Amino acid sequence: MFDRLVQGKVPRKHHLVFKGEDGALLHEECFTREGFEGPYTILYHQHRPHAHRRVEVPHGWRAPTPAAERPLSRRHYLTGKAPKLSGAPVDVRMPLLFNADVVLSVVQPTAADPVYFANGDGDDLYFIHQGSGLVRSVLGDLRFGADDYLFIPRGLVHRLLPDPGVAQHWLSIECLGGLHLPKQWRNEVGQLRMDAPYCHRDFRRVELAAPRDEGIRELLVKRGHAFSGFRFEDAPLDVVGWDGTVYPWVFPILNFQPRAGLVHLPPTWHGTFATRGALICSFVPRMTDFHPEAIPCPYPHASPDCDEILYYVRGNFTSRRGVGAASISHHPAGILHGPHPGAYEASIGTTRTDELAVMLDTTLPLSTTAAATDLEDPGYHESFC
């Protein structure tokens, strides 16, 4: 998944007798991916990590369900107008667009998660548009803030603690097939290549804290978009050490190194993260194309294999008008899309762009929830004429 970290104390080999300072045997947990074939992390707990009973834990958000079928159209959703539900991240996540690979939601929490949460469906990638806070997990704590991508691996026991009194607006990209860095950015030993658009130093990693008892025993687990509750016998934040490659990290979007070309480079050059059925791209402020006759504005294009999502953060979007911060545009496969009238011509001679946006290309068509249709700008499709 990522570079190997060692935190706290671990024994000299897997699965050997390993005792804590009080002489009690510690309990190993293998946190694996792709069965036992993929990346993994091994943790050492003071208590048996699987000792929990089933109980009711009355939390969770609404599963994504499609709104009534509609004709194909270019769509624009104003997520800044999403109703401000009061509550914790585990309760206020609002799915907007989804398929079998990804679920895009908006999250505007006003409180900390009151229970631990483990997402058994997929990895959670958040883009923190507004706000800040902390993820607290069995692997340790990690702070996040505006303009950060926050990654939380599938199945990790954690809580999200938004900073109190700070307005929060997060884009959640739930990756049901697991998230990874595009393979072309790694060399044969897994290190990020020197020509990758980021390096190991650009990522912030979780840091293990001493075992703690927060007084919380409830665990909410999501699997198949349904929630189940459990109660731990002991405090779950009891890890004295771990090593491995699966853990939460933060990548500030502005650490992405953009590229410019002689003429326009397609979005694949901005590829940041990959997941089953989707490429996640970052558009950050950059110089534009440097051919004296270059047209920096993107071309009209048909991507018959992809639905295209753009989440606008800030800056001037040379190709679009009427979109603003927290807008999502959805350009489905099957119909052409491109710049708004005049944008193509106006871009000639410009030397830089200050746009900041997150983009997804998905191979499966995206369905829309009723929550998204409530936020729709009805004139968007015709605004290109």
CB neighbour list of residue 330: distance below 8 Å, 6 or more residues apart? 74, 75, 76, 77, 97, 307, 308, 309, 366, 368
Please say which residue, 63 or 364, places its beta carbon nearer to Fe ion: 364
Please say which residue, 289 or 308, places its beta carbon nearer to Fe ion: 308
With 0-12 CB in 10 A as exposed, 13-18 as middle and 19+ as buried, what is 45? buried
The distance of closest approach from Cβ of residue 265 to Fe ion in the complex, given in angstroms and rounded to an integer, is 13
Classify strands 218-223 and 116-119 as parallel, antiparallel or unpaired: parallel
**Cβ neighbours of 220 (radius 10 Å):** 22
DSSP 262: S
The Cβ-side half-sphere exposure at 31, using a 13 Å CA radius, reads 26
Please say which residue, 124 or 308, places its beta carbon nearer to Fe ion: 308
The distance of closest approach from Cβ of residue 379 to Fe ion in the complex, given in angstroms and rounded to an integer, is 19
Residue window 256-295: x/- pattern of binding to Fe ion, with contact defined by CB under 5 A: ----------------------------------------
Please say which residue, 40 or 384, places its beta carbon nearer to Fe ion: 384
Give the three-state DSSP class for 90: helix
The distance of closest approach from Cβ of residue 1 to Fe ion in the complex, given in angstroms and rounded to an integer, is 29
Please say which residue, 91 or 308, places its beta carbon nearer to Fe ion: 308
CA dihedral 293, 294, 299, 303 (to 10 degrees): 130
The distance of closest approach from Cβ of residue 306 to Fe ion in the complex, given in angstroms and rounded to an integer, is 9
Binding residues among 334-363 for Fe ion as defined by CB under 5 A? none
Binding residues among 292-311 for Fe ion as defined by CB under 5 A? 308
Alpha helices in 81-218 (DSSP H): 89-92
Binding residues among 2-41 for Fe ion as defined by CB under 5 A? none
Please say which residue, 307 or 308, places its beta carbon nearer to Fe ion: 308
Number of residues in contact with Fe ion, rule: CB under 5 A? Answer: 1
The distance of closest approach from Cβ of residue 359 to Fe ion in the complex, given in angstroms and rounded to an integer, is 8
Closest CB to Fe ion: residue number? 308
With 0-12 CB in 10 A as exposed, 13-18 as middle and 19+ as buried, what is 130? middle
The distance of closest approach from Cβ of residue 338 to Fe ion in the complex, given in angstroms and rounded to an integer, is 7
Residues that bind Fe ion (CB under 5 A): 308
